């Protein structure tokens, strides 16, 4: 019932920011078709969804974080690179770190501004990991 109410509120919302928050909530708490629909709506919001996704990362479960990274990958905006770099270094769950790193590595293969930022982020990730290993 709560999910249905949230869906109705999202559908009736006048503000894109309210819709983004609602879709992030659905993505984090639902599976299957509702989560896929929320993901598609977040992708449609594009860059505007990134700050809300970043905020949600703080309290999301590992599975939720991986879902959010998937949305960032689909949005494909270079504004997500710093967040992905941070996750690739500091996220305590290895699967989530790997997902962020994999996204950066894919983007780093491109010859465009996003690729340049991803390559720079990967260099930083490597440097920080080496420092951490050195103690």
Q: Which residue, among 120, 116, 80, has the nearest Cα to 99 in the 3D structure? A: 80
d(Cα 103, Cα 66) in Å, to the nearest integer? 11
110-113 LR contacts (CB < 8 Å, sep 24+): 113/78
Q: Are 125 and 91 in contact (CB under 8 A)?
A: no
What are the residue ranges in the chain where pLDDT is below 70? 1-14
* Distances, alpha carbon 43 to alpha carbons 24, 55, 70, 134, 135, in Å: 11, 16, 10, 39, 40
- Residue 92 in tokens: 């305590």
Report DSSP state, residue 1: -
pLDDT at 13: 52
pLDDT at 132: 82
């Amino acid at each position: 019932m709560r999910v249905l109410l949230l869906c109705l509120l999202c559908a009736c919302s006048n503000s894109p920011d309210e819709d983004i928050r609602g879709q992030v909530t659905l993505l984090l708490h639902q599976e299957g078709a509702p989560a896929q629909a929320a993901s598609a709506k977040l992708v449609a919001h594009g860059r505007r969804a990134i700050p809300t996704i970043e905020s949600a990362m703080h309290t999301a479960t590992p599975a939720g974080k991986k879902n959010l990274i998937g949305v960032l990958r689909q949005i494909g905006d270079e504004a997500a690179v710093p967040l992905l770099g941070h996750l690739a270094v500091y996220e305590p769950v290895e699967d989530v770190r790997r997902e962020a790193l994999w996204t950066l590595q894919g983007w780093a293969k491109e010859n465009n501004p996003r690729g340049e930022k991803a390559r720079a982020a990967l260099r930083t990730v490597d440097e920080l990991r080496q420092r951490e290993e050195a103690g």
